Amino acid sequence: MLILLNIADGIAACFLLLLLGDFISTFLYHVPEHVFGKFHCLVHHSKNRSFLHYAVLTRNPLVLLDGFLGALPYFIFIPWLWQLSPVGTIVGMILGECHVVWRHTTALDRVTPQWLQTVFDACQLTTPERHWLHHQNGNVAFGDIFNFYDAPARQWLHILRRVKRRYRKMNQQNLEA
Ligand SMILES: [Zn+2]
Ligand SMILES: [Zn+2]
């Protein structure tokens, strides 16, 4: 019985780490970066990026920093989830890291088998093919791991862009006054 409870705690810790990490990363880093920053777009969305760039395997400090900032939201939950299950937390970190590398393998011209794409789509999980859509067009396919963050993230993008426009307009009016 105890071992079943341990397994349940482990699965919960692993799932929560990915769910909460992707949530914070998407809404507090990724989407705002698309509106107010240049950094993520420069590193992640410019053309002619090799797989190594995307996979955060390079030694380019800019790429490493983007990778680190994107991963930070996952780290902040470790102390809390560690109390629930250290093993689950570690497995969650490893799965998260593996997913980063895997979702960028499209840059190596790899194609995910159709059956796997169907399973991932059904589970609302991001495939490399889906993530590639985001690389090609920064306005779509948000949610690095979970697809269901895409719709609210696009709304968030829209809201932040409006805020930015309004702020610019206010600034301009102040300058003219
Ligand atoms: Zn990417
Ligand atoms: Zn992006």
| Shortest-distance ligand to the CA of residue 35 | 2
The mean pLDDT of the chain is 88
pLDDT of residue 53: 54
> Residue 146 pairs with which residues in a beta bridge?
125
Name the residue with tokens 């490493």: 64
Distance 43 CA to ligand 2 centre (A): 9
What is the pLDDT averaged over residues 62-80?
A: 85
State the ligand closest to the CA atom of 139: 2
Nearest ligand to residue 29 Cα: 2
pLDDT value, residue 54: 54
Asked if the model's pLDDT at residue 154 lies above 70, the reply is yes
Mean local confidence (pLDDT), 134-163: 95
**pTM assigned to the model:** 0.87
Report the pLDDT averaged over residues 14-18. Answer: 97
Using the mean position of ligand 1's atoms as its centre, give its distance from the Cα of residue 134 in Å. 7
Concatenated DSSP letters of 78-124: HHHHHHH-HHHHHHHHHHHHHHHHHTTGGGGT----HHHHHHHHHTT
Q: Which ligand is nearest to the CA of 131?
A: 1
Q: Residue 77 Cα, ligand 1 centroid: separation in angstroms?
A: 22
Question: What's the CA gap between 98 and 92, in Å, rounded?
Answer: 10
Residue with tokens 């949610």: 143
CA dihedral 50, 26, 31, 171 (to 10 degrees): -140
* % pLDDT > 90, the chain: 61
Q: What is the pLDDT of residues 107-140, one digit of tens each?
A: 777 899 999 999 999 999 999 999 999 988 999 9
